[in-house]
Structure 1
Amino acid sequence: MARVEITARALSDLERLFEFKAERNPRKARKQLLSVRRALELLADHPLLGRDAEDGRRELILLRGRDGYIAKHRWLPAEEIVLILAVRHHREAGYSEE
């Protein structure tokens, strides 16, 4: 089983997405955050889950109702680590600070 690590940038993305949703519906924001975290944990058992992206990275699509998120990640097989690089809402044009 691989270890899932979340970069500071991805953690900042999750906080930003949570705060945006919490302004309108704090309860739903908490449920969505838990759902996203659970989905990211699937990568421990399935590190190549998701679609191919650039430079050996992958994108995991996380859907919950009308909201969806995309997590960019990289599998580091030598270290057995799945590194979560960034997370965005599926309607955002790109990842923050790209």
Structure 2
Amino acid sequence: MPHLIWTQEAKLDLERAYHFLAARDKALAKRALKAIHGGAKLLESQPQLGRPVFGQRPPRKELLLPFGRRSGYVLHYVLEKDDVVILAVLHQRQVNR
């Protein structure tokens, strides 16, 4: 089973997302982190779950994580040997600009 590794940038993304939401609603911020961590945990057992992100080097994948009514988060990750390396955690609005 692959190991899950969070890069420093991905950890900072999580922190930013939490603080952004916590300024309005701490319970919402906690639910968002739970959804993000739950999605990442899925990658340990199903690392091929995400879809390819074209035009990126190194080749990476993204996993869409619904959260809320019309949006969610996106995990960008790469597969390295026996590891799933989380590179970034983005809000879908950041991705679709």
TM-score by structure 1 length? 0.88
Could you tell me which runs of 5 or more consecutive residues in structure 1 were left unpaired when the two chains were aligned: none
Q: CA RMSD in A?
A: 1.3
**Aligned residue number for residue 86 of structure 1:** 88
Match of 1:61 in 2: 64
Deviation at 1:30, TM superposition (A): 0.4
Distance 2:26 2:41 in 1: 23
Shift of 1:93: 4.5
Q: Stretches of 4+ moved more than 2 A in 1?
A: none
Question: What is the aligned-residue identity percentage?
Answer: 36
- How far did 1:65 drift? 2.0
TM-score (norm 2): 0.88
Could you tell which deviates more after superposition, 7-16 or 27-36? 27-36
Structure 2 unaligned residues grouped into runs of 5+: none
Query: Match for residue 21 of structure 1?
Result: 21
SS of alignment partner, residue 9 of structure 1: helix
Tell me the amino acid that sits aligned with residue 68 of structure 1.
G
Deviation at 1:17, TM superposition (A): 0.6
CA distance in 1, matches of 2:26, 2:68: 16
* Alpha-carbon distance between aligned partners in 1 of 2:7 and 2:91, rounded to the nearest angstrom: 17
What residue identity is the alignment partner of 2:5? Answer: E
